[in-house]
Amino acid sequence: MVRFSVLASLALVIGAAFVARPQNEADLCAHPAPGALSPSRDLYCIELIAAPRFEGTSGRVGLRFADSPFTHSVTVDGRSRFDAEITLEGLPPIESLGAFTHYVAWVATPVLFPIRKLGVVGNGTTLLGPIDYNKFVVFITAEPSDTTEDWSGPIVLRGQSASTRMLPPDILEFSLGEGGTWGDTVAVVDEGGAAWSPPPVPAGLTMFPALMELRPKVAPYLPSAPGAPPARPREVIELEDGDTLVLEAGYVSRTIRGRSVTMLGFNGQYPGPLLQVPQGATIEVEFSNNIEWPTTVHWHGVRLDNASDGVPGVTQDAVPPGGRFHYTVFFKDAGIYWYHPHQREDVQQDLGLYGNMLVVSPEEDYFGPANREEVLMLDDILWGDTGLVPFGLESATHALMGRFGNLMLVNGEPDYALTVARGEVVRFFLTNVSNTRTFNLSLPVPMKVVGSDVGNFEREAWVESVVIAPAERYVIHARFDTPGQIVLVNQVQAIDHINGQFLLQVDTLGTVRVDSAPVDDDLAVSFGQLRENRSVQDGLAPFRRYLARVPDRRLVLTMVTEDLPFVMDRLMRLDSAYFPPIEWSGTMPMMNWVTNPAQVRWILRDPDTGRENMAIDWHFRLGEVVKIRLANERGVLHGMQHPIHLHGQRFLVLNLNGRPNSNLVWKDTVLLPLGTTADILVEMSNPGRWMIHCHIAEHLEAGMHTVFTVE
């Protein structure tokens, strides 16, 4: 089996040669034409500065995300992984500099240790890589040999990554309390038994006193339902074509970390029942709402009839407390899907209203061989000293970054455990149901990605970790070949904004105990092979003629703020020198917590009409294939990634920042890192009015949604 360390070494060897940029890849560092939607040059292009004596020389480094099944390529501990595209002009003949034979590119951390050789370069464009430091500098030197592994010659050009601009703010300026002109505070309020108290500050971080005095401008909310039954573990409900499911949203009681709390569940379960249905089946759902909030059920990723999509104000009225609604759900595509509310998702979904749907293909070997299947719903909840941190009653809190939790849950439990036999191959169906967190999930065993939202990849691929954004799903095969206990972890690079540095955060989601007894059916041979899915490739054939055409529609992802407390506004303007492609963790807990949709408005904008959010009026014909360019704007007060979800349709992610995707899979949700562009190809296969929105729950509440019509 080929592992990543071997691939990385091979990339370095290949990168040492001069390679022309593929014709179908745009120059990342080219100045865009007026009005063009292009990747952020600020984040993904480094201008190289000439050293004295080399004033006529210039260069730039384009940073492309390394090839990955996901739309963000990272190491197992969450560091962005880039391929470097170095373009140089005006280099003098090497022999004119003395006893030197080659120009060589290097990458290093800002303290110049460690230093890694990228490869030999020259005038023109050279593709090199990888680069996976958090903060780094790139420099070009003259060297006496092309085989040197140690920098010794003079520096000709040098530049630094955008992340090196991240510096601590002036501590004295922000060390005072709020008071005076710093901004306004809101007293702690008590509404229905809930009271505001600041969310916990992550370990290793500190907050300015001025921030600690802030409070949300909405009342706090926690559910209260004395006598609510204890939540039951989810059950598997096998349904056939024509069956009826009775589904109820209600209150449940849970004991987490020794504290009793009231939460929500479908059919008294947390998560809701796992529905297992055959592909092509249609079921009827009798839904009843027994919570105090109006609600709906959205069948995420399922290409069903529009009337049953579960979007209030678009396909139905919200079901009032005590009300009922009838859904008809048709399962067109095999794979893993999920259901959840589409009304105040920031509260209802986070409190436990979610469940999976496993749609079984008639092809017995659809996902390839595995010894067993495990369906995992990944979540996080925000837990304070007294239990759950309250939600906003009138509107969402955490409108800036979304409600990051600090307690990880797998299938609703903080201590997931699994026991397997030695050599067992486990198929994991992964669904991210968190409000905002993008996971970088890993196990220290061989893993390969098999499928995603709406089916299988063209080709299976080895992975070190799984980058999975809210609402995304991935199908992973893992083989446990060594006895012992291993941990399922989320490893990310958080931003310590106060100290201007990256911070490794590791959260354990569960454990897998591998028995010493071997598995009965050893699948080592089939697991060690990366299968090509000919049926997927054949199914994509009619769509390939659309891949190179100009986008039909464009959508910019952006935001505006108003009436922020002075201290927050000032700090964010200092922070705006750098935002990472992915905000992995809630390391701005106070600033994030106190924002609401009246202060932070997240926007989908059609740049060709100027219309925003629900004012956008897109119409398409049934059967039309539409190419849409998405651009996540960098130049905002607090930029962030967005998982964009299209209802009722499926699409292909064709490229990211101009790099073509070489391994296609049908999706319904795409993670768009900050400052990136992506072209998606949408098959308009379902008539009706459908929503496009960011699946960070608080961004949805803050306006980041629109509707399109398929006629």
Which amino acid is residue 408, in one-letter code? M
Q: Give the number of other Cβ atoms within 10 Å of residue 702's Cβ.
A: 28
Residue 185's pLDDT band (boundaries 50, 70, 90)?
very low
The beta-strand segments (E) located in 433-483 are 439-442, 447-452, 455-463, 466-468, 473-480
Distances (CA, A) of 649 to 119, 526, 555, 684, 700: 44, 33, 17, 6, 19
Same domain (yes/no): 602, 675: yes
Q: Structurally, how many domains does the chain consist of? A: 3
- Print burial letters for 598-627: b (CB count within 10 Å at least 16), e (below 16): ebbbbbbbbbeeeebbeebebebeeeebbb
Q: Return the pLDDT at 177.
A: 42
CB atoms within 10 A of CB 112: 11
The predicted pLDDT at position 319 comes to 98
Let me know whether 123 and 234 are in one domain: no
- Decide: 409 and 610 in contact? Cβ < 8 Å: no
DSSP string covering 329-343, please? EE--S-EEEEEE-SS
CB 664 within 8 Å of CB 462: no
77-104 tens-digit pLDDT: 999 999 999 999 999 999 999 999 999 9
Answer yes or no: do 239 and 348 share one domain: yes
CA dist 504 → 205, 331, 494 (Å): 12, 41, 6
pLDDT per residue as tens digits for the range 491-530 = 999 998 888 899 999 999 999 999 999 999 999 999 999 9
Question: Which pLDDT score, from 0 to 100, does residue 32 have?
Answer: 82
At a CB cut-off of 8 Å and minimum separation 6, what does 539 contact? Answer: none
Mean pLDDT of 384-407: 95
pLDDT of the residue at 43:
95
* Cβ-contact 50, 56 below 8 angstroms: yes
**What is the band of 13 on the pLDDT scale with cuts at 50, 70, 90?**
very low
Residue 633 within a domain: yes
Q: pLDDT at residue 634 above 60?
A: yes
Q: How many of the other CB atoms lie within 10 Å of CB of 3?
A: 10
- pLDDT at position 572 over 80: no
Residue 703's pLDDT is: 97
Is the domain of 122 the same as that of 267?
Answer: no
H helix intervals, 18-168: 41-44
Residue 3 has pLDDT above 70, yes or no: no
Confidence of residue 207 (pLDDT cuts 50, 70, 90): confident
Q: Could you report the per-residue pLDDT of 648-660, keeping only the tens digit for each?
A: 999 999 999 999 9
Local confidence band at 7 (pLDDT 50, 70, 90 cut-offs): very low
400 CA to centre of own chain: 16
* pLDDT value, residue 20: 53
Q: Are residues 156 and 247 located together in one domain of the fold?
A: no
- As a whole number of angstroms, the distance between CA 103 and CA 81 comes to 24
pLDDT at residue 404 tops 60: yes
Instruction: Name the strands in the sheet holding 669-672, side by side, starting at the edge strand that comes first in the sequence.
Output: 618-620, 705-710, 688-694, 642-646, 669-672
Contact 532, 669 (CB under 8 A): no
In the structure encoding, which two tokens stand for residue 584, read together? 């992995």
Distance, CA of 156 to CA of 117 (rounded, Å): 15
Q: Each residue of 19-68: pLDDT tens digit?
A: 455 556 668 888 888 888 999 999 999 999 999 999 999 999 999 999 99
Is position 10 within any domain?
Answer: yes
Same domain, 140 and 66: yes
Where a domain ends, among 318, 338, 362?
362
First to last CA, the chain: 49
Check pLDDT > 70 for residue 205.
yes
Helix (H, G, I), strand (E, B) or coil at 344: coil
pLDDT at 677: 97
Average pLDDT of span 215-243: 96
Q: What is the pLDDT of residue 577?
A: 77
For residue 608, pLDDT over 90 is answered with yes
Residue closest to 581 by CA, chosen among 26, 25, 82: 82
Structural domain includes residue 396 = no
How many CA atoms, within 13 angstroms, populate the side-chain half-sphere of residue 120? 15
Query: Is residue 179 predicted with pLDDT exceeding 70?
Result: no
Q: Is residue 531 part of a domain?
A: no
Whole-number pLDDT of residue 277 = 98
681 vs 637 pLDDT, higher one: 681
d(CA 200, CA 212): 11
Query: Same domain for 141 and 281?
Result: no
* Sequence letter at residue 307: A
- Tell me if 496 sits within 8 A of 204, measured CB to CB: yes
> Are 159 and 231 within one domain?
no
Alpha carbons within 13 angstroms on the beta-carbon side of residue 656 total: 26
Contacts (Cβ under 8 Å, ≥6 apart) of 532: 458, 459, 460
Q: Quick one: DSSP state of residue 697?
A: H
pLDDT in the model for residue 9 = 34
Domain end position, chosen among 362, 397, 417: 362
CB 674 within 8 A of CB 40: yes
Percent above pLDDT 90 for the chain: 82
Which residues are CB-contacts of 638 (< 8 A; sequence separation ≥ 6)? 400, 401, 559, 561, 572, 575, 576, 579
- At 590, which helix (H) or strand (E)? helix 589-593
**Residue 51 and residue 144 in one domain:** yes
Res 416: pLDDT: 96
Residue 518: is the preceding peptide bond cis (ω within 30°)? no
* pLDDT given for residue 666 in this prediction: 98
Residues 451-468 have pLDDT tens digits of 999 999 999 999 999 999
Average pLDDT over residues 567-584: 82
Q: Where residue 194 falls among pLDDT bands split at 50, 70, 90?
A: confident
- Residue 5's pLDDT band (cuts 50, 70, 90): very low
pLDDT of 603 > 80? The answer is yes
- Mean pLDDT on 250-255: 97
Both tokens of residue 16? Answer: 């040492």
Using alpha carbons, list the distances in angstroms from residue 528 to 2, 161, 423, 681. Answer: 9, 38, 12, 32
Inside any domain, residue 317: yes
> Does the pLDDT of residue 180 top 50, yes or no?
no
Q: Are residues 254 and 161 in the same domain?
A: no
Q: What is the pLDDT of residues 429-458, one digit of tens each?
A: 999 999 999 999 999 999 999 999 999 999
Q: What is the mean pLDDT of residues 116-127?
A: 96
Handedness of CA 510, 369, 357, 236 (dihedral sign): negative
In what order do the strands lie in the sheet containing 416-422? Answer: 416-422, 501-518, 484-496, 439-442, 466-468
Residue of 319, 348, 381 lying closest to 223 (CA atoms): 348
d(CA 711, CA 704): 24
Q: What is the pLDDT of residues 139-178, one digit of tens each?
A: 999 999 999 999 999 999 999 999 999 877 665 455 544 3
The whole-number average pLDDT for the span 522-543 is: 96
Quote the domain boundaries for residue 684.
541-710
User: For the segment 355-381, what is each residue's pLDDT rounded down to a tens digit?
Assistant: 999 999 999 899 999 999 999 999 999
Compute the distance between CA of residue 371 and CA of residue 427 in angstroms, rounded to an integer.
8
- The residue from 143, 165, 187 where one domain ends is 165
Tell me if 497 is assigned to some domain.
no
Q: What are the pLDDT digits (tens) for 261-306?
A: 999 999 999 999 999 999 999 999 999 999 999 999 999 999 999 9
Describe the chain by its helix, strand, coil percentages, rounded to 5.
Answer: 10, 40, 45
What's the CATH code of the domain at 231? 2.60.40.420
Q: CA 677, 679, 685 angle in degrees (round to 5)?
A: 145
Cβ–Cβ under 8 Å, residues 266 and 348: no
Over residues 387-400, the mean pLDDT reads: 96
| More confident site: 485 or 186 | 485
The one-character DSSP state at 312 is: B
pLDDT at residue 31, as a whole number: 83
> Does 674 lie in the same domain as 584?
yes
Q: Does 305 reside within a domain?
A: yes
Q: Which residue type does 354 have? A: Y
Average pLDDT, the chain: 91
Q: Is 18 a residue whose pLDDT tops 50?
A: no
pLDDT score, position 183? 30
Amino acid at 268: G
Whether residues 231 and 160 share a domain: the answer is no
* Position 75 in a domain: yes
Contact predicate 705/614, CB 8 Å: yes
